[in-house]
Structure 1
Amino acid sequence: MSAIGTLNPGSSGVASLPTATRTAADDESSAGSSALTTPTLVEGVKVSLSGAAIAKSSSAGGSNRDIEESGLPENIQQLLKMIRKLQQQILEKKAQMAAVMADKRLSNEEKINKLAALRGAIAGLNSGLITANLALVKVMNQSGLTPDQNLKVGSLLTKS
C-alpha cells in the first residue's frame, strides 16, 4: 500500500538529520557512560610535606624490597611489612593533624572535633602497631632465627 501526499526529507527541501537506530546494547552502554562522567573536583585540606617526607614518599613504592630480599621467613616478612605500613599511616595522620592546626578557615570547635577524630585514629593504629610488634616477637622466638637473622630483623625495623 502506498501513501499519497506524504513528504519525505528529500522532497520537503529541508535537510534531514541523520538518525541512528539504537539497540538495547547501545542503551545500556550510553547509560553506563553517563554514570561514568567525570566528577567535579572539590578542594579539600591541603597538606604540605617537608623535603624529607617527599623523598621518603617517592621511595615508598619499593620500600619493602629490602624486606623481600632479606631471606627471612615469609611470616616475619609479612609482619615487618605490616609494621611499616602502620608506622606510615601514623605519620600521615600526624601530618593531617598539623594541617588541621594550620587551617585558618576552621573554627576552634571544628579543629577540636577533627583533631579528636585523628587522635582516635592514631590510637587505633598504635594499638595495631603494638599487636604487630608482639606478634613479631612471638614468631621470631618460635622460628629459631640465627643471630644474624635477628640482627637483620632489628635493622629492618629501624629503617621504616
Structure 2
Amino acid sequence: MAAIGTLNPGSSGVGPLPEGVRDSAGAEPETVSALSATPTLVESVKVSLSGEALEKSAGFGGDNHDIEGSDLPENVQQLLKMIRKFRQQITEKNARINAVMADKTLSNEERTAKIAALKSAISALNTGLITANLSLAKVVDQSGLTSEQNMKTASLLTKD
C-alpha cells in the first residue's frame, strides 16, 4: 500500500547540510537540524500607481503643486490657490444640482429646496471668487511683478 502525500529525504526541497555542520559522530547537531527544517517565509507587496495618482502625490499641495513651484510671491500664490478652490467648489455644487435634478426619488418640493440651497451656496462661493480675483488684481498691481511673473500668474489663473 502506497502512502499519498509523504516526503522522502530527496523530495523535501531542503538541501543537504554542508560537510562542516555535522558533529564528530556524523550526526547533525540538534539546533542546526531544527533551523534547516524551518523554512523562512518572505512576504512582499508590490504597489503600482497610475500616472494620475503619481502626479497628485508628487506635491503635498496636491493640485496646487504648479502654484507652489512658481517663483511668485507667497500672497499671490495664496490668492491663486483660493481662486482655484472656489472654482472647484462651484463646479462640485453644479454637479450636485444636476444630480438632484436627475434624482427621481425626490418630490418636487424636496428637489426645489435642495436646488435652492445649492444655488445659495454657489452664490456665496461666487462672491468669494469675485473678492479673491479683485484682491489678486490689487496685489499684482502693487507688488511690481516682472513680466514673466505676470504671465505666470495669468496662466495659473486660467488653469483649472
Matched to 2:123, the amino acid is: A
The structure whose Rg is larger is: 2
CA distance in 2, matches of 1:74, 1:122: 27
User: Where do 5+ consecutive residues of structure 1 fail to align?
Assistant: 1-54
AA in 2 matched with 1:92: E
1:62 is displaced (CA, Å) by 2.0
In structure 2, the gaps of 5 or more residues are 1-51
Kindly provide the CA deviation profile for residues 27-74 of structure 1, in whole angstroms up to 9, marking residues without a partner as x.
xxxxxxxxxxxxxxxxxxxxxxxxxxxx7xx94962100000111000
| 1:8-157 map, 5 Å | 59=56, 62-157=62-157
Identity of aligned residues (%): 65
Task: Compute the TM-score of the two structures, normalised by the length of structure 2.
Answer: 0.62
For residues 62 and 154 of structure 1, the distance between their equivalents in structure 2, rounded to whole angstroms, comes to: 20
Question: 1:74-109: CA deviations, max 9, x gaps?
Answer: 000000000000000001100110110010100111
Give CA deviations for 1:108-160 in whole Å, capped at 9, x if unaligned.
Answer: 11111100000000000000000000000000000001111100001001112
Matched residue SS, 1:71: coil
Q: CA–CA distance in 1 between the matches of 2:90 and 2:56?
A: 18
> Aligned pair in 2 of structure 1 residues 130, 92: CA closer, same or farther (>3 Å)?
same
Give the match for residue 33 of structure 1: none
Secondary structure, in 3 states, of the residue corresponding to 2:84?
helix
Alignment partners' CA distance in 1, 2:154 and 2:136 = 11
Q: TM-score, normalised by structure 1?
A: 0.62
Q: Secondary structure at the match of 1:106?
A: coil
C-alpha RMSD over aligned residues = 1.9
Amino acid in the other structure paired with 1:134: L
Partners of 1:59 and 1:124 in 2: CA distance: 28
2-structure distance, mates of 1:78, 1:136: 9
- Whole-Å Cα distance in 1 between the matches of residues 137 and 78 of structure 2? 13
Question: How many pairs were matched up?
Answer: 105
Partner Cα separation in structure 1 for residue 156 and residue 71 of structure 2: 12
